Amino acid sequence: MPIQILQPEVAAKIAAGEVVERPANAAKELIENSLDAGATEIRVEIREGGRRLLRVTDNGHGIPADEAELAFQRHATSKLHTAEDLSHIATFGFRGEALYSIAAVSHVTLTTRHRDEPFGVQVRVEGGQIVGRGRAGSPVGTVVSVEHLFYNVPARQKFLRKAATEAGHIANLVQRYALAHPDRRFSLVNDGRLVFQSNGNGDPFDVLAKVYGLENARQMVSLLPGDGTSPPGLDVAQDVSFMAEELPGAEAAGANPEESPVRVTGYTSLPSLTRANRSHIDIFVNRRYVEDRSLVHAVVQAYHTLLPVGRYPLAVIFVEVAPELVDVNVHPQKTQVRFVEERRIFSAVQKATRQAILRHAAPPDLALPS
Ligand code: ADP
Ligand code: MG
């Protein structure tokens, strides 16, 4: 075949394939858009595991009426303007392709009203084509309804699991975002039933208890002592050198004051609470959920000999670093990151975790009467 530029619909489906593998990926993009819009209430509704319906409603700042259609164009974004901006991304989105991708493989209805405008608009898109537009009576904020996801991608449909499995992925996702944003209220409605809700009062322990149950949450300890307002990095970098030596793979934390701080907070389970795999160790970088095997490993290593072989902790770890020191532009799904100083981050996570456990649980040889 001769070289040809792909038809826009084909290109859109390819892009969609990278961003949206399953309903949970679409849910993630919509939730992140709501967070970027400053929403304090984010409601996720699904039917049939998100295939029949995935709707995210927020009370964020909304989209100006004259930009609502533009939001569906590829590379259309209000969050990034220059290549230089790429080096310090402070929003969840920046690629301008989530709405475009989702709309290419579903029926989307966007209803939005910008906070400075007296009325709202509604735009309907099917398979990437705008099929309807008009004014809408709407409160300030945005509702994105995605119906019939992958209706035009039979290959993708085959890979979807049963509705309960897809719903489970979405529930995990919503809970992770709720953990990372205790000051926002998240709710999840599955087939008409409210299955999860955080109260948005800002207390991370409340969300932890909602997600893992009060009994489990009580067996998890905070990574920062006191009220958590200690200056970034200090708790982690100071007075833990004795541990750095005894742990395999750990190196002294960067004590160079010029280095920008790494702040590690969150919760991790006491050795009495374990799971059979690592899937309950959640890592967030600048409140973005990431899949980072190395940092998961840092958490596991922090337990050193404290856990039986084959048992793993539950943990919710928040790493905060200057946006310049982390590259999120690695994969379209934005769940992978690269750190400028990977070892220092690894070490900070390991130490903060270790310190938290040791503060609350004496090592077994000290706890047991000999
Ligand atoms: P990105 O988030 O990377 O900018 P998206 O395709 O997800 O790209 O969204 C495109 C644009 O639409 C965003 O930059 C934003 O201006 C607007 N937008 C999308 N969702 C919302 C929302 N829930 N609230 C306000 N604006 C939104
Ligand atoms: Mg986005």
pLDDT of residue 258: 45
Average pLDDT, the chain: 87
pLDDT of residue 12: 83
Around ion ligand 2, which residues have CB less than 5 A away?
33, 93, 98
Index of the ligand 1 atom closest to the CA of residue 76 = 10
Index of the ligand 1 atom closest to the CA of residue 32 = 2
Proximal ligand: closest to the CA of 329: 1
**Mean pLDDT: which of 71-80, 144-153, 222-231, 244-253 is highest?**
144-153
DSSP secondary structure letters along 236-294: HHSS-HHHHHHSTT-------TTSPP-EEEEEEE-TTS-BSSGGGEEEEETTEEE--HH
pLDDT-derived band at 229, boundaries 50, 70, 90: very low
Mean pLDDT of 268-282: 94
Proximal ligand: closest to the CA of 15: 1
Ligand 1 centre distance from Cα of residue 154 (Å): 27
Contacts of 156 (CB under 8 A, 6+ apart): 17, 21, 105, 150
d(CA 141, CA 145): 13
d(CA 164, CA 169): 9
Index of the ligand 1 atom closest to the CA of residue 97 = 6
DSSP state of 98: H
pLDDT of residue 333: 75
Q: Ligand 1, from 20, 25, 33, 72: best to mutate by most atoms within 8 Å of Cβ?
A: 33
d(CA 112, CA 119): 9
Query: Side chain identity at 319, as an amino acid letter?
Result: V
Is residue 170's pLDDT more than 90?
yes
8-205 CATH choice from 3.40.50.1820, 3.30.565.10, 3.40.50.2300, 3.90.1490.10: 3.30.565.10
pLDDT tens for residues 329-357? 777 777 888 888 889 999 999 999 999 99
Mean pLDDT of 310-326: 93
Ligand 1 centre distance from Cα of residue 65 (Å): 13
Query: Side chain identity at 24, as an amino acid letter?
Result: A
Q: Please tell me the residue having the least CA distance from ligand 1 atom 17.
A: 71
What residues line ligand 1, using a CB cutoff of 6 Å?
29, 33-34, 37, 58, 60-63, 71, 76-79, 93-100, 142
DSSP secondary structure letters along 341-367: THHHHHHHHHHHHHHHHHHHS--HHHH
Q: Please tell me the residue having the least CA distance from ligand 1 atom 7.
A: 98
3-state SS class at 73: coil
Is residue 328's pLDDT more than 90?
no
**Mean pLDDT: which of 10-19, 221-230, 267-276 is highest?**
267-276
Is residue 15's pLDDT more than 50?
yes
> What are the boundaries of each domain within the chain?
8-205, 219-363
Ligand 2 centre distance from Cα of residue 37 (Å): 10
CATH 3.40.50.620 matches 219-363: no
pLDDT-derived band at 7, boundaries 50, 70, 90: confident
pLDDT of residue 242: 33
pLDDT of residue 263: 93
User: Of the ranges 132-141, 210-219, 310-319, 320-329, which one carries the lowest mean pLDDT score?
Assistant: 320-329
User: Of the ranges 9-18, 154-163, 294-303, 307-316, which one carries the lowest mean pLDDT score?
Assistant: 9-18
Ligand 1 centre distance from Cα of residue 196 (Å): 25
| Whether the domain at 8-205 and the domain at 219-363 fall into the same CATH topology | no
pLDDT-derived band at 253, boundaries 50, 70, 90: very low
Is residue 257's pLDDT more than 50?
no
Complex prediction ipTM: 0.99
User: Of the ranges 72-86, 92-106, 133-147, 285-299, which one carries the lowest mean pLDDT score?
Assistant: 72-86
Ligand 1 centre distance from Cα of residue 95 (Å): 10
Strands 41-47 and 185-190: parallel
User: Of the ranges 69-83, 238-252, 258-272, which one carries the lowest mean pLDDT score?
Assistant: 238-252
Index of the ligand 1 atom closest to the CA of residue 110 = 20
Q: Ligand 1, from 34, 44, 70, 77: best to mutate by most atoms within 8 Å of Cβ?
A: 77
d(CA 73, CA 93): 14
DSSP state of 151: T
pLDDT tens for residues 90-140? 888 878 889 999 999 999 999 999 999 999 999 999 999 999 999 999 999
